[in-house]
């Protein structure tokens, strides 16, 4: 009886081995077939499309920053003003006031208040630039003082 069980196991192992070989042969044939190549091309195309979608959606979408604008703001709250000319993605001029609490407020560029604020900011920039260009009185540097002292002390010693 032991032999028959062993023979059955051998025949079963042999049939499993044949099945594995057949499966491997079928896979090799499938891999070489046009269907496999088409599926690979399709999967590569899907990967490329996904990569393009991810790249496109991760880019910043540029648009106008101001949807609604105010005619005026309390001038004591304004910390800075940014002026943007029309751009390819926004066809209108935008003026954005940065308030002291770090919030942004869009101002109507055609209002008198906004024009006055822009004029004031430009005047402040001119004053700051003028202050930078004013030369301060000449001060002597340490190296100039040392060289003058050395030359003054060297002259009497050589006489």
Q: The whole model's pTM is what?
A: 0.46
Residue 69: the pLDDT is 87
Query: pLDDT band at residue 3, thresholds of 50, 70 and 90?
Result: very low
- Nearest-angstrom CA–CA distance, 143 and 154: 16
The stretch 15-44 carries a mean pLDDT of: 70
- Nearest-angstrom CA–CA distance, 94 and 144: 53
Whether residue 135 is predicted with pLDDT greater than 80 in this model: the reply is no
- In sequence order, which residues have a C-beta less than 8 Å from that of residue 92 and are 6 or more positions away? 64, 66, 86, 109
44 or 75: which leads in pLDDT = 75
Helix and strand element counts for the chain (H, E): 4, 3
Tens-place pLDDT, residues 66-91 = 888 888 899 899 998 999 999 888 88
The stretch 44-50 carries a mean pLDDT of: 81
Angle value at C-alpha 120, between 101 and 128, nearest 5 degrees = 90
Residue 112: the pLDDT is 93
Q: What does pLDDT average to over the chain?
A: 75
Whether residue 151 is predicted with pLDDT greater than 50 in this model: the reply is no
């Amino acid at each position: 009886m032991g032999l028959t069980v062993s023979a059955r196991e051998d025949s079963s192992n042999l049939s499993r081995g044949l099945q594995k070989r057949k499966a491997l042969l079928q896979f090799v044939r499938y891999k070489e077939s046009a269907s496999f190549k088409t599926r690979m091309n399709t999967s590569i195309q899907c990967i490329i499309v996904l990569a393009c979608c991810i790249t496109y959606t991760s880019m910043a979408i540029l648009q106008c920053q101001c949807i609604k604008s105010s005619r005026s703001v309390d001038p004591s709250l304004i910390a800075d003003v940014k002026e943007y000319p029309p751009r390819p993605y926004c066809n209108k001029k935008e003026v954005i006031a940065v308030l002291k609490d770090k919030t942004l407020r869009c101002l109507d560029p055609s209002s008198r208040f906004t024009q006055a604020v822009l004029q004031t900011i430009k005047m402040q920039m001119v004053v700051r630039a003028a202050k930078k260009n004013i030369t301060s009185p000449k001060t002597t540097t340490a190296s100039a003082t040392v060289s003058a002292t050395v030359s003054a002390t060297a002259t009497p010693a050589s006489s």
